[in-house]
Amino acid sequence: MENLLVVDIAAEGKAIAKYNDMVVFIPFAIPGDVVDAQVTGRRKSYMEARVVNFHRHSPERVDPFCRHFGVCGGCKWQMLPYELQLRYKQNQVTDQLSRIGKVELPEIKPILGSEKTKYYRNKLEFTFSNKRWRTFDEINSGQNGEGNYNAVGFHIPKMFDKVLDIDECLLQDDVSNQIRNEIRAYALQHNLPFFDLKQQEGWLRTMIVRTASTGELMVIVVFFYDDTAKRQALLEQLSDKFPQIDSLLYVINPKANDTITDREVFTFKGKPHIFETMEGLRFKIGPKSFYQTNSEQAYTLYKTVRKFARLTGNESVYDLYTGTGTIANFIAKDAGKVVGIEYVPEAIEDAKENASINGIENVLFFAGDMKDVLNGSFIETHGKPDVIITDPPRAGMHNDVIDAMLVASPERIVYVSCNPATQARDVNMLHTAYKVTAVQPVDMFPHTHHVENVVLLEKK
């Protein structure tokens, strides 16, 4: 398809063009670009395509800062100036709350941008693979990579066993690059086998690097099977090369998938955890702990939640999908009592421990499926909430949870969401008894289309 004019950006972050009255979704383009595009997928009402040639660049386009841009699946909006990224995210929230929510809205507050647009993540996971992704440029040049098909980096989108070898990622402190590149060099030098996800063979599987605002550093290396001599040598090399690692851990994972939530984590050096701080509170971060990956913007988000909750010190607050209890512990000093509920038992144990570390005594945490836990008898036992804070996964809330919230009938509901579309759907269901009185988007992930949004609902 030749000379397509890109006219807009969709909610999923892909650019939009028209071809014979059919919508075409194109990644890595922005409004104002004129491109030739090759179709990669076709549906009844739209097509997907990739850019093969630029006839004209949009005057708003900026140069991407990452050498892996256009191939790596992350940071797809680097060519958009940050102020435009914020505008499109604001538009996304407005559009989805209006179109899907179908409720009366107040004036939506301007999105709160991230002060850091690089090096803002506190956690990255890299995959080892013997199926290195070769770029179109590499293939067309006739280069064969000198026979090296090992890689450590990020999965190529929609290619479960193909991994892009990453030299430098600008999302996390540079120590992350140094550690990843050191492990790669050591593994290649010592012929350590990289994992083959399809054949289920190899040794090196994944590695996770976690950093904290305290300066503490955690590294987790995951192996397919245990080889004591090789493991000891590799981890000693890391320990010697990076003495600043506070927590050096490893996992043996012989399963077909990469998740380690059900695997034992072993400590090779230092502590089995690191600490994050926020407004005088200390949060213990273990290898499996969930913590917002943009620490500084997490503080912005939680302050918004606290502001919307309008606590006076006497309220009973339910914190649904509490995770490791970060929000619950953060607001506890301003509430009478906080009850947190979360599906993952390990997360609840973290929440309880974080409460204990900070001397917080007015919080209670419960593990279980939200739709099963939050029922009439639970509310009768723990008291009717004055405020409900809910921060569900991307899929939003189960109908039974919404029904239970309506029965509980709090004065205010503060709804935090990483998916404005499902948030809008749920707000529509809550609208029988509640009206939206405030909306605050927050940008947690610069250079991506993802946006966090906080909605305040008050009883009619």
Catalytic sites, residue numbers: 418
Question: In this structure, is the dihedral angle defined by the CA atoms of residues 91, 93, 94 and 99, taken in order, positive or negative?
Answer: positive
DSSP assignment of 88-123 equals HHHHHHHHHIIIII-S---PPPPPB--S-SSS--SE
Helix (H) or strand (E) holding 408: helix 399-408
Fill in the amino acid letter for 342.
E
Burial of 20 (C-beta count, 10 Å sphere; 0-12/13-18/19+): exposed
- Angle of the 420-430 helix axis to the 399-408 helix axis, nearest 10: 50
Residues 419 and 421: their CA atoms lie apart, in Å, by 5
Give the pair of three-digit tokens for residue 24. Answer: 């075409």
Cβ-based neighbours of 62, under 8 Å, separated by 6 or more:
78, 79, 80, 81
Place of tokens 């947690």: 444
Residues 72 and 411: their CA atoms lie apart, in Å, by 45
Angle 95-98-99 from CA coordinates, rounded to 5°: 75
- Angle of the 175-189 helix axis to the 228-241 helix axis, nearest 10: 140
Nearest CA to 93 out of 80, 111, 81 is that of 111
CB-CB contact of 211 with 176 (8 Å) = yes
Give the pair of three-digit tokens for residue 96. Answer: 């989805």
Give the pair of three-digit tokens for residue 284. Answer: 């213990």
Residues 416 and 292: their CA atoms lie apart, in Å, by 13
Place of tokens 């030739």: 36
Q: Give the length of the chain.
A: 460
The percent helix, strand, coil of the chain (3-state, each to 5) is 30, 30, 45
Give the pair of three-digit tokens for residue 134. Answer: 């070769």
Helix (H, G, I), strand (E, B) or coil at 403: helix
